Structure 1
Amino acid sequence: MPGKECAERLRTDAERGLTPARAAQRLRDCGPNELAHPKKKSLLKRFLAQFSDFMVIILLIAAGISFVTSWIQRDSDYIDSIIILAIVVVNAITGMVQESRAEKALEALRRISSPRARVVRGGKEAVVPAPQLVPGDLVRLRAGDLVPADLRLVAAVDLKAEESALTGESVPSEKAADAVFPEGTPLGDRHNMMFSSCAVTAGHGSGLVVETGMRTQVGRIARMIGSQAAPQTPLQQRLARVGRTLGIGALAICFVIFIMGLFQRVDPLEMFLIAVSLAVAAIPEGLPAVVTITLAAGVRRMAAKRAIVRRLPAVETLGSASVICSDKTGTLTQNRMTVVELRTAGGVLAPDSPEGRRLLRMAALCTNCEISGGKVAGDPTEAAIVRAVSPGTLGADRRRYPRVLELPFSSARKRMTTVHRLPGGGYRAVTKGAPDFLFARCASGGAARQNEAMASAALRVLGVAYRDFGTIPRDREELETGMTFCGLIGMADPPRPEARGAVALCKRAGIRPIMITGDHAATAAAVAAQLGIAESRGDVLTGPELSRLSDAELKRNIYRYRVFARVSPEHKVRIVRAFQARGEVVAMTGDGVNDAPALRAADIGCAMGISGTEVAKAASDMILTDDNFATIVAAVREGRGIYENIKKTVHFLLSCNIGEILSVFVGFLLRLPFPLQPIQLLWVNLVTDSLPALALGVEPIDPKIMERRPVRRGESVFAGRMGYNIAVEGCLVGALSLLAYSIGRVFFDVDPAAPWIGRTMGFAVLSLSQVVHTFNMRSERSVFRSGLLPNRRLGLAAVACTFLQAAVIAFPALNALFRTTLLTASQWLVVAALSLAPLAVVELEKRLERAAPPPRRRAASAPGRRSRRSEK
């Protein structure tokens, strides 16, 4: 609607603004002009949230069963349940502390000065905090201001706004107060409006506040974010499935053993105790802590690489990412217009040639950029020209050729002319603007063809011409006729230097890079071609074309396109969901308000820390503090390494648990005295399993990890040979433990019905063979080639576990607690020989697999057990 009608509807004065009293009343009625902040979780809520994990719930149930068992036995130490609860609490504290640290890091990013606005109230101009603005306020704007609310312009002089954070346009939008547009006009085409959070790049003007806070365009997008539910990460989904499987398996073991014992007429209480000990053995009590600590270590490493993780489980999601949807402006490009090409009618000019320098210096005189401390402020297009000349050179030229007259740029004129006094007398008028206008006003030779070539490369082209006068003519039109054509300047928002390499690495890693932008299709296609994302215009789908596709059609055709141009926030969410519907794990990077809904809808959203808006940061899972697209690739590598290490720990812990179950279950089937006590099983689970597993979780990342395909959504943790290897290795560990138990019981125990030595030897072999087995998990290469140096923590963990295991056997004070007895030197030799057996067996398996012909190798298998032949 016209500005006058808008003022009447807002019940305000378009020249004097609201009275202070009415402004105060509207502030009470409408509330402050700010976006709603998400409510912070208390420490108690953060702590309790850690107990929602399925594995943690199983551990709590196990602790409860252990407590009840101790109570039935009248056992006053309750050591089993205490140890389980201690592990759960430590895990919860670790998760809570990490989330709190991430939020503090985010708060540090938000510590910027509160924006202020120049407002006219009662005819007097004042500077007030932006949150105090209300509908009807008259706000004054000038170059460099941030727009504090959504405004309907009532005055505009050469006014331009940089709206890339809202519309995706890299070129500032020209504004006109007298323009009127029909309802439903796209935001980027509403030239009579200024939108909250956008920057004024040139000119000055004033406008009436029409919307504030959550009712602005920024606020509407913020509300859209609230409707997007954050999805579970792939790691959460896979570990939840493992937890459910283990829980069901533990219950099945309890039931089968208990029923079998009743049929054999064993005392029900004794059978219940045996069943509970097996259930405890079936659950890797250390797994939640190992996963949490591994993720936390990854978070610290990623923070050192300038990526702040806001949600701990989201670390590994990037490792599973198969599609990265990235905004163009400011993420793949520098969001900084740059002179990239100079031409005359005769062809391309070198920037450092005499003709090139003359063209740039002439154009720089016809700019209004401010220079302070070597920095350039003003219209991005003009700033690009000034930077190409250098601020120092322009300063000298401005003093040598002082400006005496200006015909300002306007959307109607599409040109700007300045008149300068020449040192030897006379004047020179310099005009820059749309090439078509200049071609009509001066002899340009074949420059029109050069302009077409530059435009086809998606460059923003300005023409420059001049004319000398003895005196300034009275008719201003004469200044812009009969000119001498000087040349064409082609500008673009160039790609980041490291972006092309990052895109290429994504492709090698099996990740599909996708560009999503609000910019024009030609510009997007040109940038995408430079980066290697797309090859032709056929790879580009525009917003209007996307709107004509149903969700089913978009899902079916989503792989045909690499670039999506002129898209809205709703389009971005549809694109993300279409990829997700095809089974892809989608990461979304961006910095603008228009990226926020898709950041939330994606499996993981990565916002920019420097140029990113607060709305985008709040919607993200990760913040890249250096605004560098290449950082996302480093994060993907880190995420893959974390997932591989967690998968190795799952492999290790489950194979150990199978060994523990078999050693007890088979002994029961053979009607042997109970081979292991519950406290011994818990010791193995929580100490000699968990300490090496923690060290395994920080294993250095494989240098070739970015040459593998991403883990597919829904792919089992046991994909490839992992399930088979877990079963075989678990059976080996269990058999060795039973063998040691049998040797001790038959050859060393005085009373086979009370096999103290046999039980102690079986306990020692079960524990130490698992410590040795940890080194098998490190790599598909031979342990003698990989060595200990790359992961000193694993060596220290192995030494610590060996010492602790020896202590519970060698120290009489601990014998009663752990139901063990002292061993002789010959008995220790048997224990050592059997404990080293897993290393020999797995090394033999590795050698056989490396010697296997290529068809026997698998393309996708478990970490630590993939095709070893390729790693010779």
Structure 2
Amino acid sequence: MKYWNVSVEKALEELDTRVKEGLSVQEARRRLDEHGANAYQQAKPESVASMVLRQFKDVANIILLVAAALSLALAVREGHGYLEPLVIFAIIVLNMTLAVTQERGAERALEALQNLNSPSCLVLRGGARLEIDTADVVCGDVLLLKTGDFVAADARLVEAIGLSVDESSLTGESEPVEKDASVLIEDDVPIGDRLNMVFSGCLVTAGNAKAVICATGMQTEMGKIAGYLNNTQKLQTPLQRRLNRVSRTLSAIAAAAAAALLAGGLRQGEEFWAMVLAAVSLGVAAVPETLQLIVTLTLTQGIKNMAGKRALIRKLPAVETLGSTSVICSDKTGTLTQNCMSVQRAWVSGSAPVAVSEEAVAGPVCELIHKLSLASNATLEPDGEGGERIVGDATESAILRLLLSSGEACGQLEERMPRVGEVPFSSARKMMTSVHALPEGGYLVLTKGAFDRIPFAAVDEATLAERRAMHDAFAGDALRVIALGSRRVEGLPQSGNLEELEGDLTFEGIIGLIDPPRPEAAKAIQTARRAGIRTVMITGDHAATAAAIARQIGLIGDGGTVITGRQLQAMSDEELVDNVRDYSVYARVSPEDKIRIVEAWQERGEVVAMTGDGVNDAPALKAADVGVAMGQAGTEVAKAAADMVLIDDNFATIVEAVREGRNVFSNIKRTIYFLLVCNLSEIVVMLGAQLAGWGMPLTPVMLLLINVLGDGVPGLRLAQDVSDGRIMGRKPIGRQESFFAGGLVRVIAQQTLAFTVVSMLAFWLGAFVWLPGGAGPSLLVGRTMCFLVVAFTSVLHIFTVRSRASVFKRTVRDNLPLVWSAVGIIAVLSVLALVAPLGAIFGLVPLGPASWACVFGLSLVPTLVAEVVKLWDNRSESEHYRRLLLRHRNVGEE
């Protein structure tokens, strides 16, 4: 039943309870047994064993596992030793450990949701007031609420006196909602407009009430959010999809090459197990064993860099995904705005309206603020850390904050004019009155509230029109307008009814309040726009407020439109996908709406980041490619559901995180380019030499040493390279865009060919050609020369892939660790080949001077070829732009 749409009597009848007695203790216990506790159900977490088993679905791990098993079988059969299978198994264990450790950052969103509720609440049972655990309330319990209470469960109001509830964690609306038990609400209104309801987890900021609980646990609005969190599935990140495609491509190449190698060898009469060993070697060559390790460590370095810029990454893939972000769906309250009501404008009759700042309050406006603060109930209280904090309604807190900025001590006004009486605010009256004793005798009556509800003294039409025009101007800018009237009286009513003093009031002035934009938000949105990123505001606040803020931060122009949750709900999912690009501001939306918006953008192929701080944002944060929560104002629910937390709650920090994410993606792309050239050339060398009948040019342990030391260490340094400074001038990487876009396939093919030619030439020279000063041609000499050329060309290749510019144009000083790594690796590998006992472990033999000269000479060839290709490409690109510019000039002259 939609309890907001029925009378109190009907709700009590439906729930079979009585407002004065509540449920009996026995009936409450029966309902608790039947319907369960008032708690949120949590999805069963994935076990560590399940995570480990899932790693065996990874193509690279499967290939390595098969290679390790065959290598172990051959070691047992042939008695070759166990170094090769042990090394392969160690790499598998390392990859899996990293993956499982990353995933064990378990989901804590539902635990945080549970913590939102107060551990106990006050209810009526059998006519007695009982304090019980929140988990024990049931439908039909009569809940007693007062200022400072958290609502235990969703409830229909029965009685409410001056009740205001902060629902920002649920709806995103920054201002407390004034409740009214007597109204009936349409059945299809948003949560924020259900004025006769209170909701689980929300805070009572003023007044007291009696309400009958109508939903508990997963049936509450908070419970529904918990359900969305359980059921929302995270899409694979762009990085995961791209890495999977690379793995599938390599596995297909490896399988085809291994099959061709095995078939060709058997056709030539080779021994079966020897060919199996060759096929295993080819499989090892195909897999870049260090790729997962390099990617993980690169993302970890990105996390450290982002933490230095006040962005805390909770999930590793989010680092790269941020770099691909093309749409930021941002919550308004606390993200684009300060989540703090502020007096923006004031007007005193007979003067011009004044833009108010906390640095400058003077003259008539200062007197107006003084009187408004007297008629307010916000107070200063110790904050527990030696300071003070303002406690009270958001509007009254803003007034007190402005008063303090004027240099007036909070208690001085009350001491001079102590309050002697009050008529509390109520949603029906839309105003409150306070009465203060004057030092000279008599009393000052102050009434603040809605402009059209305060009984001002009669004035001429022109004055009234001026006041109304000013009120409408404030309201038209989405400001909340508070008016103040005053009156001096000599005595108080004998009846004691202070409402008798509310009449013939002198108009003092009006103020306009709003939750203002963050000062850096507009600039951040402009920066994002230049980077090709679309910003969309999604809020539970009113449409007029959302539009005003959106215009102030440059999100929409003066003619920009706002779409409401009701309009959104009238659309089908297909209509939303078709039209989602037309909307930049959404207002009065529900948690379900936020998920639909995120998914609509994802259907259009966009990579979506969702920012937010409230419980209402959590499901969409989880559904988005990157969920971004606020660290200071954010709830624990939002933080637990997010991929990234902004430590300083600064929207501009997202832009810096995107910059770092793009740099990470660029580095990973270059690393994959580097590793693919190395691994593909190893495959071709292995296959070519075997099919040519030359024998196996590299053993599995040699390949592992190259892949880990010659490729892995330089690859890791490359993945931590600095950006070129132009990275935010490029468009975001598309969701489906390949790592190999932009002609990278051609470059990889050219480099692979160059690598293959020099490597096979080195093997042929060592195995079949006599070189001066050496021991003569042999398979071991050929393998040693091939091993060194493959390793050295890989190390030198790292400098080629750093930039499209010439290797001679980038200074080595901007990545000294890369340079020293390259020098160190070349030195270590040379020592292995020079020192016979060490080399024997890996099947290497000492070389003569001529052999070393061939090794170094051949190792330089691929780098020189790459530089020539770069020079040609850069000249062609420059010529293309020159012709394009000339064409535009000719068009302009015509």
Same fold at TM > 0.5: yes
Q: Within 5 A, what are the aligned runs for 1:724-803?
A: 724-745=746-767, 746-748=769-771, 754-803=778-827
Offset of residue 233 of structure 1: 0.8
Counterparts of 1:752 and 1:165, CA distance in 2: 79
Report the equivalent of 1:390.
404
Report if aligned partners of 1:110, 1:614 keep a CA contact under 8 Å in 2: no
Q: Which residue of 1 aligns with 2:122?
A: 118
User: Match of 1:809?
Assistant: 833
Residue aligned with 2:317, SS: helix
Counterpart-to-counterpart distance in 2, 1:787 and 1:659:
28
Gapped runs of 5+ residues in structure 2?
Answer: 1-5, 383-387, 883-894
Partner secondary structure for residue 435 of structure 2: strand
- Residues 637 and 809 (structure 1), Cα distance of their counterparts in 2 relative to 1, 3 Å cut: same
**Distance in 1 of aligned mates of 2:670 and 2:877:** 26
Q: Deviations over 1:744-790 (max 9, x none)?
A: 44242878762433321221111012111112222334444543443
Match of 1:61 in 2: 66
Instruction: Give 3-state SS (helix, strand or coil) of 1:436's partner.
Output: coil
Judging changes above 3 Å, is the alpha-carbon distance between structure 1 residues 303 and 536 closer, same or farther for their aligned structure 2 residues? same
Indicate which of 343, 353, 359 corresponds to 2:368: 359
Q: 1:855 to 1:709 in 2, by over 3 A?
A: farther
Q: 2:214 aligns with which of 210, 217, 228?
A: 210
Which residue type is aligned with residue 448 of structure 1?
R
Moved more, 646-655 or 695-704: 695-704
C-alpha RMSD of the superposition: 2.9
Task: Give 1:868's aligned residue.
Answer: none
2:625 to 603, 614, 625: 603
TM-score (ref. length: structure 1): 0.91
**Counterpart of 1:651?**
673
2:429 corresponds to which of 394, 410, 413: 413
Hey, what's the Cα distance between the residues in 2 that align with 1:111 and 1:830? Answer: 70
Separation in structure 2 between the aligned mates of residue 116 and residue 305 of structure 1, nearest angstrom = 40
1:109–1:597 Cα change, 3 Å: closer
Please tell me whether residue 370 in structure 1 is matched to residue 379 in structure 2. Answer: yes
In structure 1, distance between residues paired with 2:249 and 2:791: 24
CA distance in 2, matches of 1:756, 1:421: 106
Cα distance, 1:707–1:689 mapped onto 2, change above 3 Å: same
Verify: 1:245 aligned to 2:249, yes or no: yes
2:42 equivalent in structure 1: 37
The one-character-per-residue Cα deviations of 1:697-721 (angstroms, maximum 9, x if unpaired) are 2223443322211110111110002
Distance in 2 separating the partners of 1:658 and 1:41 = 37
| Aligned residue number for residue 153 of structure 1 | 157
Q: How does 1:476-625 map to 2 (within 5 A)?
A: 476=498, 479-625=501-647
Alpha-carbon spacing, 1:137–1:613, altered in 2? closer, same or farther (3 Å): farther
CA contact under 8 A between 1:161 and 1:201: conserved in structure 2? yes
Q: Counterpart amino acid of 2:11?
A: C
Q: Is the 8 A contact 2:456 2:506 kept in 1?
A: no
Counterparts of 1:714 and 1:835 in 2: how far apart (Å)? 36
Is 2:182 aligned against 1:178? Answer: yes
Higher relative contact order (CA 8 A, sep 6+): 2
1:265-284 matches, within 5 Å, as: 265-284=269-288
Q: CA deviation at 1:304?
A: 5.0
Q: Following superposition of structure 1 onto structure 2, how do residues 289-304 of structure 1 map, counting pairs within 5 Å?
A: 289-304=293-308
Residue number among 828, 832, 845 corresponding to 1:821 in the alignment: 845
Q: Distance in 1 between matches of 2:625 and 2:705?
A: 38
Query: Quick one: which amino acid aligns to residue 818 of structure 2?
Result: L
What is the distance in 1 between the residues matched to 2:148 and 2:708?
60
Relative to structure 1, the CA distance from residue 109 to residue 698 in structure 2 (aligned partners, 3 Å threshold; closer, same or farther) is: farther
For residue 483 of structure 2, give the secondary structure of its aligned residue in structure 1: strand
**Contact persistence 1:87–1:289 (CA under 8 A):** no
Equivalent residue letter for 2:427? S
Moved more, 711-720 or 99-108: 99-108
Give the TM-score normalised by the residue count of structure 2. Answer: 0.89
Q: Which amino acid aligns with 1:384?
A: A
| Aligned counterparts of 1:204 and 1:583: Cα–Cα separation in 2 | 49
User: What amino acid does structure 2 have at the position aligned with 1:748?
Assistant: L
Task: Return the offset for 1:380.
Answer: 0.8
Please give the alpha-carbon distance, in whole angstroms, between the structure 2 residues aligned to 1:856 and 1:849.
Answer: 10
User: How far apart are the structure 2 equivalents of 1:185 and 1:730?
Assistant: 64
Shift of 1:689: 0.9
Using a 3 Å threshold, how does the CA distance of structure 1 residues 774 and 108 change in structure 2: closer, same or farther? Answer: farther
Code of the residue aligned with 1:453 in structure 2: it is A
Measure the CA separation in 2 of the matches of 1:602 and 1:139. 37
Report the residue type matching 2:801 in the other structure: M
Structure 1 contact 673–753 (Cα < 8 Å) conserved: no
- 2-structure distance, mates of 1:439, 1:320: 58
d(CA) in 1 for partners of 2:851, 2:409 = 87
Q: CA deviation at 1:21?
A: 5.0
Corresponding residue number in structure 2 for 1:190? 194
Structure 1 residues 124 and 638: CA distance shift in structure 2, 3 A: farther
Counterpart check, 1:89 vs 2:113: no
Deviation per CA, 1:226-281: give whole Å up to 9, x if none: 33222111111111111111111111111223333344444444444333322322
Residue aligning to 1:832: 856
Mark the CA change 1:290 to 1:105 in structure 2 (over 3 Å): closer, same or farther: farther
What one-letter code is carried by the residue in structure 2 that aligns with 1:415?
M
**2:234 alignment partner AA:** A
Which AA in structure 2 matches 1:801? I
AA aligned to 2:442 is G
Distance 1:332 1:24, change over 3 A: same
Q: What is the deviation of 1:554?
A: 2.2
Range with greater deviation from structure 2 (99-108 or 422-431): 99-108
Counterpart CA distance in 1 for 2:94 and 2:621 is 32
Paired with 1:422 and 1:186, the residues of 2 have a C-alpha distance of 47
**3-state DSSP of counterpart to 2:377:** coil
Counterpart Cα distance in 2 of 1:21 and 1:507: 62
Q: Which amino acid aligns with 1:467?
A: R
Partner of 1:865: none
SS at match of 2:425: coil
- Aligned partners of 1:127 and 1:306: how far apart in 2? 43
**Aligned to 1:748, what secondary structure does the other structure show?**
coil
Across the two proteins, how many residue pairs are aligned to each other?
857
- Match in the other structure for 1:314: 318
Task: Give the alignment partner of residue 57 of structure 2, picking from 49, 52, 65.
Answer: 52
Q: 1:349-391 deviations in whole A, cap 9, x for unaligned?
A: 2542211111111111111113213311111111111111118
Please tell me whether the aligned partners of residues 748 and 757 of structure 1 are also in contact (alpha carbons under 8 angstroms).
no
- Tell me what 2:468 maps to: 448
Partner of 1:467: 487
